[in-house]
């Protein structure tokens, strides 16, 4: 059974810092991994999607890496801004279990001005 964990659970940083969010998954048989952002009381916004054959994806100040063999992904946020404050969720689409998408518990990020 696929399990997804995220470290840290919460993070508070001063504006301008670079930061790394971590995601781990137990079953490496995945199709893809996706990072989302969720603002309080809102739905999900897709940030980056990495296919299993890829090692990283970049969008603006965001960079996500994938090491499928070790079951890890990182989301790197450069030059953090207060507007980056949100909960960040990673989700893997697993080849087993009827190709379900399994979400991690999320990392709550607070960027202090």
Partner 1 sequence: GAVVSQHPSRVICKSGTSVKIECRSLDFQATTMFWYRQFPKQSLMLMATSNEGSKATYEQGVEKDKFLINHASLTLSTLTVTSAHPEDSSFYICSAELAGGHRYQETQYFGPGTRLLVL
Residue from 25, 64, 106, 111 in contact with partner 1 (CB under 8 A): 106
- Nearer to partner 1 by C-beta: 82 or 105? 105
CA distance 54 to 88: 21
Token pair recorded at residue 5: 């964990």
- Nearer to partner 1 by C-beta: 6 or 80? 6
Strands (E), 1-113: 4-7, 10-14, 19-25, 30-38, 44-51, 56-59, 62-67, 72-77, 86-94, 101-103, 107-112
- Nearer to partner 1 by C-beta: 18 or 45? 45
**Binding residues among 12-71 for partner 1 as defined by CB under 8 A:** 31-32, 34, 36, 41-46, 49, 51
Residue 36 CB, nearest approach to partner 1 (Å) = 8
What are the φ/ψ torsions at residue 27 (nearest 5 degrees)?
-110, 115
- Nearer to partner 1 by C-beta: 102 or 111? 102
Greatest pairwise CA separation for the chain in angstroms: 44
> Interface with partner 1 includes 93 (CB under 8 A)?
yes
Catalog residues that contact partner 1 under the rule CB under 8 A: 31-32, 34, 36, 41-46, 49, 51, 89, 91, 93, 98-106
């Amino acid at each position: 059974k696929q399990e997804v964990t995220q470290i840290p659970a919460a993070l508070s940083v001063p504006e301008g810092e670079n930061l790394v969010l971590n995601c781990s998954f137990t079953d490496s048989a995945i199709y893809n991994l996706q990072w989302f952002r969720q603002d309080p009381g809102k739905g999900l916004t897709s940030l980056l999607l990495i296919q299993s054959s890829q090692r990283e994806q970049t969008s603006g100040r965001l960079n996500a890496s994938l090491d499928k063999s070790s079951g890890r992904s990182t989301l790197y946020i450069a030059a953090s801004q207060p507007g980056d404050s949100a909960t960040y969720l990673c989700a893997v689409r697993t080849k087993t279990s009827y190709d379900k998408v399994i979400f991690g518990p999320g990392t709550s990020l607070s960027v202090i001005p």
